[in-house]
Amino acid sequence: MNPSELKIIVQEKYGKIASSDEASSGSCGCTPACCSTEGISTFNESYDHLSGYLPDADLSLGCGIPVEYASVRPGDRVLDLGSGAGNDCFVARALTGETGHVTGLDFTEQMLLKAEENRKKLGYTNVEFVRGDIEMMPFPDNSYDVVLSNCVLNLVPDKQKAFSEIFRVLKGGGHFTVSDVVIKGTLSDRARSDAELYAGCVSGASTMEQYLGFIQHYGFTDIKIHKQKKIELPDGILDPSENNEGNGVYSITISAIKP
């Protein structure tokens, strides 16, 4: 599939999640119950202990809690990539306070509508949701102090372009903190070609080495992996011809600074 076809698959899947009862069950998205391969453990982590948490905005689609490591400060301008129903945005808003500003970027119309409904429930005037593509963000250079993302960059076909855009929109001295999915080892041919696994955050993931390479290429500094967690896999996901000891699919939370 070409990048445009992959984006359509992702939009259709996440649009369906946003507009159906599946969203509240935590059974889709970056959890594998909607994938054609059964038996992968769920990725998401609980936000219910965090200030600003709104259950209606939590569709259980993440693979970490990036905002816990993002050092968001009062007054910061924060951008959340792939903002979904607004979960990370509202938690970030609790940290920026009334003097800050939080922007959520998503390219799925149904998700944006759901996020806006949730924003109205909370009455926030300094949170906004914008439709756009992570590979070509509709924002000026040097606009944000912090960029967040939760289990979304693995769904972007051109990850190098995504990190280029993150670098562009961050202010000098700003930083990103993202939770994402990476591969250690090699996916099987079947897993790489499975569109449902792509939309479920597995077959679209880069290797750990590639991921770090994208970040280093654009000159980010102070790269830190705060957390990594191995995801239990069924047979057939990794290439059986390799020695797969220690290999697998991992959720990671990583940050870096724009000089």
What CATH number does residue 70 fall under?
3.40.50.150
> pLDDT-based confidence at 33, cuts 50/70/90?
very low
Half-sphere exposure of 196 (CA within 13 A, CB side): 11
Other CB atoms closer than 10 Å to residue 7's CB: what's the count? 17
CA distance 24 to 205: 25
Q: Which residues pair with 153 in a beta bridge?
A: none
Q: Which residues pair with 102 in a beta bridge?
A: 78, 127
Residues counted in the chain: 259
Query: What is the mean predicted confidence (pLDDT) over 225-254?
Result: 75
CA-closest candidate to residue 61, choices 78, 42, 75: 42
pLDDT, greater one: 185 or 150: 150
CA distance 46 to 190: 31
Please say if the pLDDT value at position 200 is more than 60. Answer: no
Q: How many domains does the chain have?
A: 1
Own/partner long-range contacts of 162-168 (Cβ < 8 Å, ≥24 apart): 162/81, 162/134, 162/135, 162/214, 163/214, 163/215, 163/217, 163/218, 163/220, 164/218, 165/134, 165/135, 165/136, 165/137, 166/81, 166/218, 167/218, 167/219, 167/220, 167/258, 168/137, 168/141
CA-closest candidate to residue 69, choices 144, 147, 170: 147
> pLDDT-based confidence at 84, cuts 50/70/90?
very high
Other CB atoms closer than 10 Å to residue 252's CB: what's the count? 19
CA distance 112 to 202: 24
140-178 pLDDT per residue, tens? 999 999 999 998 998 888 999 999 999 999 999 999 999
> pLDDT-based confidence at 93, cuts 50/70/90?
very high
pTM of the model: 0.86
Q: Provide the residue range defining the domain that includes 89.
A: 3-257
CA distance 34 to 105: 24
pLDDT, greater one: 196 or 168: 168
Report which DSSP code applies to 58.
-
What tokens were used for 72? Answer: 């968001």
pLDDT at position 25 is 40
What is the share, in percent, of the chain residues with pLDDT greater than 90?
Answer: 59
pLDDT at position 30 is 47
Query: What is the mean predicted confidence (pLDDT) over 243-257?
Result: 83
CA distance 248 to 98: 42
